[in-house]
């Protein structure tokens, strides 16, 4: 029986307005996609499509978890999360929920389960 395996790969990187206004952003993405397509070809995997979402870190209260370094939304500062503006229901694969606990910003995995945004 023949099957097709369809996968998604989620990536993220930090950038700045200065990098985006210059040619650094386009150069970095161009270089990445050139190498990624070559890697896919080497393993006989078709590269279908990709897109990037640009999210303001201050606007959404996005931080790195102080414990595990994963990206997280500080839901204590931004209780509505990405809302409908994000147009991407899969953002939670890259940016987890999180909040503040004992002076630290922690993702939902690192928060105690008793915290409002901690995983139970
Ligand atoms: Zn964490």
| pTM greater than 0.85 (yes/no) | no
Q: Residue 4's pLDDT is what?
A: 95
Distance 72 CA to ligand 1 centre (A): 8
Distance 85 CA to ligand 1 centre (A): 25
As a whole number, the mean pLDDT across the chain is 92
Confidence of residue 119 (pLDDT cuts 50, 70, 90): confident
Claim to verify: residue 44 and residue 72 sit in the same structural domain: no
Q: Domain range holding 38?
A: 1-52
pLDDT digits (tens, 9 = 90+) for 76-87: 999 998 887 666
Distance 80 CA to ligand 1 centre (A): 20
Confidence of residue 31 (pLDDT cuts 50, 70, 90): very high
Claim to verify: residue 48 and residue 78 sit in the same structural domain: no
Claim to verify: residue 18 and residue 63 sit in the same structural domain: no
Nearby residues for ligand 1 (ion, Cβ within 5 Å): 65, 67-68, 107, 110
Q: Residue 87's pLDDT is what?
A: 67
Residue 10: name the closest of 88, 97, 98, 115 by CA: 88
Q: Are 75 and 105 in contact (CB under 8 A)?
A: no
Asked if pLDDT for residue 40 goes beyond 70, the answer is: yes
CA distances from 56 to 14, 37, 64 (A): 10, 28, 14
Distance 66 CA to ligand 1 centre (A): 7
Claim to verify: residue 3 and residue 47 sit in the same structural domain: yes
Domain assignment of residue 113, yes or no: no
Domain assignment of residue 116, yes or no: no
Domain count, the chain: 2
Q: Residue 54's pLDDT is what?
A: 87
Claim to verify: residue 12 and residue 46 sit in the same structural domain: yes
Claim to verify: residue 48 and residue 92 sit in the same structural domain: no
């Amino acid at each position: 029986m023949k099957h097709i395996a369809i996968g998604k790969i989620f990536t993220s990187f930090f950038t700045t307005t200065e990098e985006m206004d210059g040619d650094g952003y386009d150069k970095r993405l161009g270089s990445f996609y050139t190498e990624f397509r070559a890697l896919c070809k080497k393993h006989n995997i078709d590269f279908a499509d990709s897109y990037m979402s640009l999210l303001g870190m201050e606007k959404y209260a996005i931080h790195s978890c102080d414990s595990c370094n994963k990206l997280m939304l500080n839901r204590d500062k931004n209780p509505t999360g990405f809302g409908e503006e994000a147009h991407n229901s899969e953002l939670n694969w890259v940016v987890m929920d999180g909040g503040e606990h004992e002076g630290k910003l922690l993702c939902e995995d690192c928060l105690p389960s008793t915290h409002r945004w901690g995983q139970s």
